[in-house]
Amino acid sequence: MCKYLSLIALASICAFMSFTASTKAADDNKDAKTTEKGSIKVTVMGEDGKPAADVTVQIAVRASRRGQQQQTQSTAPGDNGNAGNTNQEQPRRRQPPVAKGMTDDKGVCTLSDIPVGDYTLSARKDDLRATKRVKIKAGDNDAVELTLKKQAPRRNAGQGQNK
């Protein structure tokens, strides 16, 4: 009996030590990820191919499909995913910008201190817009060129519907 209690105590101590070590390693990795940052140099060109001054440039986290994944995971076998789901469509939510700036007279804007990750880079002036997906890497200083194009004004949801 004493032999079994000793084995159980030893196993418990080993499990606790292993858990503590793995938790510390995970915390260390989390801290390393949050401190990794990069920057991006953006050159914005107008429709005429010349550098565009005074253009608002921003970078935001890409919208995720988390809502879709959660819906898919919570469905019952044989369910098409709509049973009991009153919200058929999940609207795309705009993410707040991580960094924002304005182009100079040469059409250049540098955004820095951006955490590592996948982003949507956008430039806008009046009815001219440009977007591009970018990946920020640690210590990286990528250079990206965007060309502004005229876009139709956005419609508000619910506009033009008969009530």
Whether pTM > 0.85 for this model: the answer is no
pLDDT tens-digit map of 8-20: 776 778 676 766 6
Q: Give me the pLDDT at residue 53, please.
A: 95
Say how many CA atoms lie within 13 Å of 111 toward its Cβ. 28
Q: Residue 132: pLDDT band by 50, 70, 90 thresholds?
A: very high
Q: Closest by alpha carbon to 145, among 99, 116, 106?
A: 106
Average pLDDT over residues 97-126: 94
Torsion angle of the four alpha carbons 61, 62, 63, 67, in this order, in degrees rounded to the nearest 10: -90
For 22, the 3-state DSSP assignment is helix
CATH topology of domain 35-73+90-152: Immunoglobulin-like (2.60.40)
Q: Give me the pLDDT at residue 162, please.
A: 53
Say how many CA atoms lie within 13 Å of 82 toward its Cβ. 3
